């Protein structure tokens, strides 16, 4: 393999490895740290979070970012070690990378289609890995000077040589063990959500110094006049503009759940308003990509007449990655007993559109947007902060 080709292959492999490693870190933080905000989240259309937490963020239970780390690590070893001047397999290295990158390219094209066409999202880190895969494919293809049909026999010969070389054998074991450890150490979305819910359920009050800082902040916040009537006797009105396919909305839902339970029976009222990021029911979000969020909001409104609203509410957030009209319709029936989803849909959709219109009036530009007694709360604090804010508002209203 020519030195120039080896240098380019190593550069593309390391570029992809770096992007995949950062992607893995971001994905891990999103699953384990509710307050984490990715540096590559520019808006709803340019977002790593939306990509990683979508149904395309994992493949057969393995995060795509971790698969990328393993893929590019193998490519880097092939280019840097197998392709070195002292390697007996140097002449075959480009062919191995070409075969590997052919599989990688097919996978990258599928993910690019899912991201740009299906989800309508541009992920910066993902794009870097796509470019790296294409670079590996093009350069290795140009540097391969033997028929690909000879790969099996060449690989068998090189593997025999490697397994008889202690250093090469150790390298193979390290690569295999490292990949297994990465996959095993990465939390599944369900386990991460369960751990987060458990941590939230047992939240501790804010320390006194943080409480004082929050009181000072609350005292200077402007108050928005929300045209939403509260129930008689309400002293604290919490209004949340939400989207069922927004990862941050799910975080806010989990954070608020134990806090609202704590204040049950007190003069605290919670009202959910819908702000789906989908043009069908929200003209302010035309061109956005949450294609099941209008249906989910409609299902929630239909379930208000049943005793199972809370169950459906939780189910919709737990399954936000796979929401579609059919999925939501079936869930509304199974979870809340809604029998006539299709017959009511167009009528109830007007309620969701009215919520979206109200959101525009009060300058909602992202989800979730939460108001406590008209004061906008930045996204997305832990339960202890919501608890302190509600307590501050209660005392201020007396």
Instruction: Tell me the mean pLDDT per 10 residues along the chain, length 398.
Output: 87 94 88 75 77 77 87 90 79 90 94 82 91 95 88 84 65 74 71 65 88 94 92 95 89 91 94 94 84 95 95 92 92 95 96 96 90 91 93 90
Alpha helices (H) in 39-80, listed in sequence order:
48-52, 64-77
Closest CA to 56 of 3, 2, 121, 1: 121
pLDDT given for residue 90 in this prediction: 81
The dotted CATH code for 3-187 is 1.20.1440.130
pLDDT given for residue 313 in this prediction: 96
- Residues 337 and 308 sit within 8 Å (Cβ to Cβ): yes
pLDDT given for residue 44 in this prediction: 64
Does the pTM surpass 0.95? The reply is no
Alpha helices (H) in 78-165, listed in sequence order:
90-113, 124-143, 151-163
| Residue 23 backbone zone (phi > 0: left; psi -120 to 50: alpha; other: beta) | alpha
Q: Count CB atoms within 10 A of the CB of residue 84.
A: 14
**Strands, sheet with 236-242, edge to edge from the N-terminal-most edge strand:** 268-274, 236-242, 369-372, 375-377
Structure tokens that stand for 389 in this block: 């804010």
pLDDT given for residue 158 in this prediction: 79
Q: Which SS3 state, helix, strand or coil, does residue 271 take?
A: strand
pLDDT given for residue 304 in this prediction: 95
Fold (topology level) of 193-396: Glutaredoxin (3.40.30)
pLDDT given for residue 196 in this prediction: 63
CA-to-CA distance for 398 and 25, rounded, in angstroms? 46
CA distances from 353 to 257, 297, 314 (A): 26, 10, 22
pLDDT given for residue 38 in this prediction: 80
Structure tokens that stand for 295 in this block: 């249906």
Ordered by start, the domain boundaries in the chain are: 3-187, 193-396
pLDDT given for residue 167 in this prediction: 65
pLDDT given for residue 191 in this prediction: 60
Q: Which residues contact residue 387 at a Cβ distance below 8 angstroms, ignoring those fewer than 6 apart?
A: 203, 205, 206, 259, 262
Tokens 């302010």, located at residue: 284
pLDDT per residue over 341-386, tens digit each? Answer: 999 999 999 999 999 999 999 999 888 999 999 999 988 788 999 9
CA-to-CA distance for 285 and 282, rounded, in angstroms? 6
pLDDT given for residue 166 in this prediction: 61
Residue ranges of E strands in the chain: 58-59, 62-63, 236-242, 268-274, 369-372, 375-377
């Amino acid at each position: 393999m020519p030195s120039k080709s080896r240098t380019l292959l190593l550069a593309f492999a390391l570029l992809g490895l770096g992007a995949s490693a950062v992607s893995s870190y971001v994905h891990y933080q999103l699953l384990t740290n509710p307050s984490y905000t990715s540096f590559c989240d520019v808006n709803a259309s340019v977002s790593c979070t939306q990509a990683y937490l979508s149904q395309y963020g994992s493949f057969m239970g393995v995060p795509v970012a971790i698969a990328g780390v393993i893929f590019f690590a193998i490519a880097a070893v092939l280019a840097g070690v197998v392709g070195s001047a002292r390697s007996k397999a140097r002449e075959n290295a480009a062919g191995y990378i070409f075969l590997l990158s052919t599989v990688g390219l097919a996978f990258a094209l599928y993910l690019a289609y899912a991201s740009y066409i299906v989800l309508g999202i541009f992920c910066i880190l993902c794009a870097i890995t796509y470019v790296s895969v294409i670079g590996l494919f093009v350069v290795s293809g140009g540097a391969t000077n033997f028929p690909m049909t000879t790969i099996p026999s060449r690989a068998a010969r090189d593997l025999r040589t490697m397994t008889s070389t202690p250093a090469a054998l150790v390298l193979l074991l390290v690569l295999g063990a490292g990949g297994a450890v990465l996959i095993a150490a990465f939390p599944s979305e369900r386990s991460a959500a369960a751990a987060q819910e458990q941590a939230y359920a047992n939240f501790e009050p804010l320390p006194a110094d943080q409480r004082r800082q929050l009181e000072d902040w609350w005292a200077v916040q402007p108050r928005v006049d929300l045209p939403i009537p509260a129930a008689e006797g309400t002293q604290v009105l919490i209004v949340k503009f939400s989207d069922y396919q927004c990862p941050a909305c799910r975080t806010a839902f989990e954070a608020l759940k134990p806090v609202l339970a704590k204040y049950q029976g007190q003069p605290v009222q919670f009202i959910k308003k819908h702000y789906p990021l989908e043009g069908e029911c929200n003209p302010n979000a035309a061109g956005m990509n949450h294609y099941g969020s209008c249906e989910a909001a409609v299902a929630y409104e239909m379930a208000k007449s049943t005793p199972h609203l809370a169950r459906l509410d939780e189910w919709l957030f737990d399954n936000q990655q796979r929401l579609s009209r059919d999925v939501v319709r079936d869930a509304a029936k199974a979870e809340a007993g809604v029998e006539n989803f299709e017959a009511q849909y167009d009528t109830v959709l007007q309620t969701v559109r009215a919520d979206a219109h109200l959101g525009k009036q009060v300058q909602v530009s992202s989800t979730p947007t939460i108001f406590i007694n008209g004061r906008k709360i930045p996204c997305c604090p832990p339960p202890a902060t919501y608890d302190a804010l509600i307590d501050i508002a209660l005392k201020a209203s007396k």
